[in-house]
Amino acid sequence: MRWIWQSGLLVLGARFAFANVEKTIFVAPAASETAANDPAVDGLVLDRLTPSEPVLRTSLNATFPTEDAPLGTASWFYLENLRPDQRYEVRVCWLATQPTAFILTTYTLSDILADSALVSSLSHFSATKEHRNLPSERNSTKSVNNNDKSVLFLRVLAAADYYTTNTTLMENVPPVAVDLILDPFLANVFPRSLVPTAAWIVVVTVVSVVVARFISGLLSDLAATGRIEEEERKEDKKTQ
């Protein structure tokens, strides 16, 4: 039976074979705690993730750890239209050919306003992004009032995690191509995106058990037939 479970684990692992994955799991706070309509939020230029637009493909700047930035370069995102008390996870997936260490952390607006370092980091990132890109529906935090939903800010720290004799790569870390994925938990227990994988594992396991029982029964029948034939040959020898 062990090979059945091993095959199931291989199917599960195949889903992530194309990339490295780092994630954070959190429970969306009450809407009243997130200050979704606070004027301080308006004007920030950040890419957004929502339950209706849960996947964002982008590139993140990364740097080698320094004394000023021991965990790498910070990028900020806006998690919007979250259901209060709903468990979520945010994953960042990146190619194994770009070794990078990621740290994902979520913050409410009040968390950020209480820490001047976070305020400075968020403001700097937003200003830099606004300089590079014109605001659009996807990267503006201004949204329609919705008092029964909550929002959070997501900070992604990216630190280059490699060493090479290539001087250019050591001095200038290239941007890291990533997929950011917002994934709600079903009943606050199981990530929704893993449901198809789990269903496939169940199907493979059930089919494997049925096939194993069929082969076991077939082998038992063949063994029983062999014993009967052997007894018949012994009887024939006695009668001779």
Concatenated DSSP letters for 41-108?
TTT-B-EEEBTTB-EEEEEE--B---SS-TT-EEEEEEEEEEPTT-EEEEEEEE-TTS-EEEEEEEE-
Instruction: Read off the amino acid at residue 118.
Output: L
What is the Cα 82 distance to its own chain's centre? 17
Contact in structure between 141 and 48 (CB atoms under 8 Å): yes
CA distance 94 to 62: 12
pTM score of the predicted model: 0.73
Residues of the chain with pLDDT under 50: 1-17, 134-135, 137, 143-145
Q: Quick one: DSSP state of residue 38?
A: -
DSSP letter assigned to residue 165: S
Q: What is the predicted pLDDT for the residue at 181?
A: 96
Contact 77, 154 (CB under 8 A): yes
Question: How far is the C-alpha of 94 from the C-alpha of 25, rounded, in Å?
Answer: 18
CB 140 within 8 A of CB 126: no
pLDDT of residue 38: 63
**Per-residue model confidence as pLDDT tens digits over 26-68:** 999 988 665 555 666 777 889 999 999 999 999 999 999 998 8
- 175 and 60 Cβ atoms separated by less than 8 Å: yes
Predicted pLDDT at 70: 93
Residue ranges per domain, the chain? 17-191
pLDDT tens figures, 82-107: 999 999 999 999 998 999 999 999 99
pLDDT given at position 142: 55
CA torsion sign for 17, 19, 20, 23 is negative
